[in-house]
Amino acid sequence: MSIPLKSAKIQLMKPRVRIAPSPTGYPHIGTIWQALINYTFAKRNKGKFIVRIEDTDRQRYVPQAEKRLFQALSWFGLEPDESPQHGGTNGPYRQSKRLDLYKKYAFQLVKKNKAYCCFCSQKRIDKVREKMKRTGRPPMYDRHCRRLKMEEAEKRIKAGEKYVIRLKVPQKKTITVNDLIRGKIKFDANLIDDQVLIKSDGYPTYHLAVVVDDHLMKITHMVRGEEWISSAPKIVLLYDYFGWSKPVFVHTSLLRNPDKSKLSKRQSHTNVSWYQQEGYLPKAILNFLCLLGWSHPQEKTIFSLEEFIKYFDLKDLSSVGPVVDLKKLDYINGVYIRNMSDKKLIQLIEPYLKNYSLFMTRYSLEKIIPLIKQRITKLSEVKSLVEFLIKPVDYQPQLLIKKGADKKNLRKQLVEVENKLVSLKNWQTEKIYQAVKEIFQQGSYHKKHFYVNLYLAIEGKPAGLPLFDSLEILGREESLKRLENAQKKI
């Protein structure tokens, strides 16, 4: 037998969607992905995007986490229509300010015989579950208090006994969850625990709070990660027990690493702050996130948020866990950098060069920025690109002299280049290039080794900013000095 699902009365053209993060850590890139999906769906359908803070887990509460979340949303341009910060007519938007509501609705269920007061100690519950484990059964509560009469429960409450309120899950039934992406998902009610709704400290658990809040805030689509699928039958039961219309259920796939493991908070690249510090651009990150579990109808890789809003629909999301491939993000970010004006890029890279005051005064960023722009995929890479312009090159013999290399031939090359450049009258990129090219063409040098050796002598690494532009930027005196120093290392 299946519990019937009531059709949600939804204004499809004006949906109300939300994210409901807990302030138990700093903003996660997965939270931004969920925000992007909800924000986009709301904007496309002229609906509302809401942020509700689920702050009832006081033991794991992190100060400043909520502030950081809203700063991150602003950085990405995903501003909510309603939230603790933005206000609205359906607040309060923090669960800690709504505790009386949860208790009120929990006792409504008790009166309707859809929930009950449980007085079992944690010690007793642990013993029951341990016994179930030993006999090969799922470790669930044994429903010891389920048959308590309301009168007896009220007496025990008045006497000061600690209690929780539990959901009365039906037995020998199938609970069906209709999911927009995954279709019908069926659950055996016998394997579902009598979920605690109100804890002994008076705080609600997730299941009760999310249903009460979503109903009162008129949420039309419950969009959340697939890790919450196991809680879906309890959510369905609560909607049915209250007699409320259900939202559309949408369980998005888990974000995964390239090795298919779950993207975890323990990894540095899950925090929004990591992406900011590395120098990824917010529009590029959003573009990347748009492609997780969704494909552009024209198979584009680079497109704006406005274009995503134009084409996106929740039903088009994939049920397969998308991979967070940072190499792809690097590519997308690089495109955004190259499409940016030089003036804007200078403003963005200056914080990464704040310890390079000598560089900022000695060299013209306007001259160097076109060279940098073509070679970085994120802003933080600028430091390693220009470092050689300020710091003396630390020549590594093992780099200058590759295994099997001819030391004599290498020294000959560097001497010839130095002698040629000493007499060069016009110290400009093209003239330097022509002079060095003549040496290569007249000698018996391996082309790749020839230019890599010069890179190592001038920049201290086998690749970097364009070699001949670098020589012009460094100037004649410094360039010749580096060629001479490199010879001494051989």
Burial class (CB in 10 A: 0-12, 13-18, 19+), 488: exposed
Per-residue pLDDT tens digits for 364-418? 788 889 999 999 999 999 988 988 888 888 777 666 665 455 678 888 999 999 9
- 135 located within any domain: yes
Low-confidence ranges of the chain (pLDDT < 50): 1-12, 403
Q: Annotated active-site positions, please?
A: 265
**281/337 Cα distance (integer angstroms):** 8
- 92 located within any domain: no
Question: 3-class SS at 83?
Answer: strand
pLDDT at 81: 98
- 93 located within any domain: no
- 274 located within any domain: yes
pLDDT at 443: 83
pLDDT at 402: 59
**This prediction's pTM:** 0.90
pLDDT at 362: 64
pLDDT at 6: 41
pLDDT at 5: 39
Give yes or no: residues 147 and 174 share one domain: yes
Burial class (CB in 10 A: 0-12, 13-18, 19+), 301: middle
Give yes or no: residues 409 and 372 share one domain: no
**Total domains present in the chain:** 4
**CATH code where residue 242 lies:** 3.40.50.620
pLDDT at 449: 84
Of the three residues 301, 319, 339, the one that is the final residue of a domain is 339
pLDDT at 400: 64
**CATH code where residue 184 lies:** 3.90.800.10
Give yes or no: residues 291 and 311 share one domain: yes
Question: 3-class SS at 222?
Answer: strand
- 391 located within any domain: no
Give yes or no: residues 140 and 243 share one domain: no
Give yes or no: residues 109 and 201 share one domain: yes
Give yes or no: residues 368 and 401 share one domain: no
- 94 located within any domain: no
Give yes or no: residues 83 and 220 share one domain: yes
**CATH code where residue 481 lies:** 1.10.10.350
Residue with the two structure tokens 């930027």: 473
Give yes or no: residues 201 and 253 share one domain: no
Q: Which domain covers residue 113, as residue numbers?
A: 99-208
- 323 located within any domain: yes
Give yes or no: residues 81 and 219 share one domain: yes
Question: Residue 430 is which amino acid?
Answer: E
Give yes or no: residues 82 and 213 share one domain: yes
Of the three residues 183, 208, 233, the one that is the final residue of a domain is 208
Question: Residue 36 is which amino acid?
Answer: L
Give yes or no: residues 9 and 51 share one domain: yes
- 317 located within any domain: yes
- 395: how many CB neighbours lie within 10 A of its CB? 17
pLDDT at 265: 61
Give yes or no: residues 317 and 448 share one domain: no
